[in-house]
Amino acid sequence: MKSKDHNFEPPHEILDVLPGFIYQLKMNPQGEFSWLYLSNGVERILGLPVAEALEDANRLLSLVHPDDFDRVLNESIAVGEKEQGWFGEFRMFTVEGREMYFEAHDTSRKMPNGDIIFTGFANNVTEKRELENQLALLSHYDALTGLLNRSSFHEILENTIRTSRRKQQHFALLFIDLDHFKPVNDNYGHRVGDLLLQSVGRHITQSLRDSDTSCRYGGDEFLVLLPDVAEVDDLTKVARKIIRQLEQPFVVEDHTLHISASIGVSLYPDHGSKADTLINLADQAMYQAKHAGAGNIQIFGR
């Protein structure tokens, strides 16, 4: 469709392959908007017929994410008054409700009657942003089990130390090492071992409160953070529950597997006030528990 005020219509063969849409938007001195031009990408990407959008500017504007709308509007008006270029990122919803990401570049021109004309291109960057979000998510979680990875857990542990110091609270750190895991890898291969670790991660998570945090520390070792633990009995109940969960037979690819776990515990602030110290002491306690026999719990120094 042609612009009402300007001859602004690139060749259709170009418009059909653009990963976004071209627009020309007018804002009058009363702050009212009308689209002078919209390319077919509006319908192809967002599902909104161009004719409907041109008839009622709010049909398209209402698809802008409410958390982004005021920011985009205010930034556009500010640069429009100065006849400057604008670049910004925002989210829009398709007519069917799917959230999408766009990067927009436009230029502005102020007309003698006070109208501001914005001419630009909104580029669909949804796949790029979704990939970036997935990569960011993977950077925090263990790829095999889906639990937090070591570095993310360490960050949460540091934050818990600061919070517990300020509120004068206690917390417990559990270092879990699987018993009889090596024979699984030796006898059935690493694929079965990996599937078993995935199941172990789920069983540990099911044993915890919503406020607790778990991670795969490496290999067949796991860490669990129990915040605001007032009594030793509270943490031993959780530790025993984890052991009971892991002593149940696991069925993996038609193999019935039997393992258990040894758990070492360190306490804040009794055993230290630094993350590495608490992890090391819980690790030492875990080895004491393992030497005492499979399925044992040992609190450091007791």
| Residue where the block lists tokens 């804040």 | 268
Q: Which residues contact 164 (CB under 8 A, 6 or more apart)?
A: 170, 171, 227, 228, 268, 269
The token duo for 173 is: 């750190």
Q: Please tell me the distance from the alpha carbon of residue 99 to that of residue 122, in angstroms, as a whole number.
A: 15
Per annotation, catalytic residue among 142, 179, 212, 220: 220
Active site residue 228: no
| Helices of type H across 4-49 | 12-15, 41-46
Q: Locate the DSSP E strands across 149-252.
A: 171-179, 213-218, 221-226, 250-252
Q: For residues 281 and 272, is the Cβ–Cβ distance under 8 A?
A: yes
Beta strands of the chain (E only): which ranges?
20-27, 33-38, 86-93, 99-110, 116-124, 171-179, 213-218, 221-226, 250-252, 255-257, 260-268, 297-299
Give the N- to C-terminal CA distance of the chain in Å, as an integer: 80
Beta bridge partners of 121: 22, 105
- Tally the residues of the chain: 302
CA–CA–CA angle 148, 152, 157 (5° rounding): 105
Q: How far apart are CA 90 and CA 64, in angstroms?
A: 7
**Catalytic residues, which ones?**
220
